[in-house]
């Protein structure tokens, strides 16, 4: 059976779920972070090698300041409380995006956790932070122009955040929204996309494993070449 190596997830619906449950978007973000841990466990159980999570997009700066600050607070707290666990579980953290505009303390912590987990091998968690796919592609082309290199597919890929990471075979979006919202535009052209009505805080390990099982039954067609996962 041909298991996927890379799964990417747009974790949508935290705010709406929080409003519905406690009239608080921040409550939804807090519960959503708890789900992240469970899905990482499920990915390890399914022997996924790369899990990319859309944590904070370039468009998220448009949200109310109190909500943005709370998201940063959650990230700070997660690193403080879970770093030892990440190390013990052999989890590698890779920061994917431009974190220069982030608060100084948070930037230091993110770079620290990336450095300390760099030799871990069970699974790589790609945290898409201040990430936008259009910006990523433009940045790659600018670097090629600066180095006077030809603009072609191979060279563009070599300057993307995902240059050493295989493209995701599966892209999941929760939240009952059927679009990819500036996420992995280049990398997801052959991804099998699963849109779910569930909000992210409602998503669970069973849902994740069910998607992996569905993927393994898909006959994948690449420009006329039929590739079966059966």
In whole angstroms, give the CA distance from residue 227 to residue 229. 7
pLDDT tier at 230, thresholds 50, 70, 90: very low
Domains of the chain, residue spans = 6-228
Question: Of 220 and 54, which is predicted with more confidence?
Answer: 54
3-state helix, strand, coil in the chain (%, to 5): 45, 20, 35
Q: Which residues of 29-61 are buried (b: 16+ CB within 10 A; e: fewer)?
A: bbbbbebbeebbebbbebebbbbbbbbbbbebe
Q: Provide the pLDDT for residue 226.
A: 52
Catalytically annotated residue among 14, 23, 26, 60: 60
Q: Provide the pLDDT for residue 194.
A: 98
Strands (E), the chain: 6-10, 50-57, 91-96, 123-131, 170-173, 192-195, 219-222, 225-228
Q: Is 213 exposed, middle or buried (0-12, 13-18, 19+ CB in 10 A)?
A: exposed
In whole angstroms, give the CA distance from residue 121 to residue 90. 6
Our answer to whether residue 12 is catalytic in this structure is yes
Are residues 68 and 29 in contact, defined by beta-carbon separation less than 8 angstroms?
A: no
Choose the CATH number for 6-228 among 2.60.15.10, 3.40.1180.10, 1.10.287.70, 3.40.50.1820: 3.40.1180.10
**Cut 0.85: pTM above it:** yes
In whole angstroms, give the CA distance from residue 30 to residue 78. 10
In whole angstroms, give the CA distance from residue 19 to residue 26. 9
Q: What are phi and psi of 126, to 5 degrees?
A: -90, 110
Tell me the average pLDDT across 184-196. 97
pLDDT tens by residue, 29-58 = 999 999 999 999 999 999 999 999 999 999
In whole angstroms, give the CA distance from residue 105 to residue 181. 28
pLDDT tens by residue, 91-111 = 999 999 999 999 999 999 999
pLDDT tier at 78, thresholds 50, 70, 90: very high
Catalytically annotated residue among 2, 12, 80, 207: 12
Q: Is the pLDDT of residue 161 over 80?
A: yes
Our answer to whether residue 2 is catalytic in this structure is no
Please report the DSSP string for 103-127 in residue order. -HHHHHHHHHHHHHTTT--SEEEEE
């Amino acid at each position: 059976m041909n298991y996927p190596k890379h799964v990417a997830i747009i974790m949508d619906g935290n705010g709406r779920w929080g409003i519905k449950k406690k009239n608080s978007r921040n409550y939804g973000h807090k519960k959503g972070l708890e789900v992240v841990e469970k899905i990482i466990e499920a990915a390890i159980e399914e022997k996924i090698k790369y899990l990319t999570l859309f944590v904070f997009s370039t468009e998220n700066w448009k949200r109310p300041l109190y909500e943005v600050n709370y998201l940063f607070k959650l990230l700070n707290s997660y690193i403080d409380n879970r770093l030892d666990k990440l190390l013990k579980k052999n989890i590698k953290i890779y920061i994917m995006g431009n974190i220069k505009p982030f608060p100084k303390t948070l930037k230091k912590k993110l770079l620290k956790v990336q450095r300390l987990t760099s030799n871990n091998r069970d699974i790589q968690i790609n945290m898409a932070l201040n990430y936008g796919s259009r910006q990523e592609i433009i940045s790659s082309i600018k670097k090629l122009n600066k180095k006077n290199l030809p603009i072609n597919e191979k060279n563009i890929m070599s300057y993307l955040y995902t240059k050493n990471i295989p493209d995701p075979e599966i892209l999941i979006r929760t939240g009952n929204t059927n679009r990819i919202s500036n996420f992995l535009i280049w990398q997801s052209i052959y991804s099998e996309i699963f849109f779910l009505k569930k909000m992210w805080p409602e998503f669970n390990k069973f849902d994740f494993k069910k998607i992996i099982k569905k993927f393994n039954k898909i006959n994948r067609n690449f420009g006329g070449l039929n590739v079966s996962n059966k």
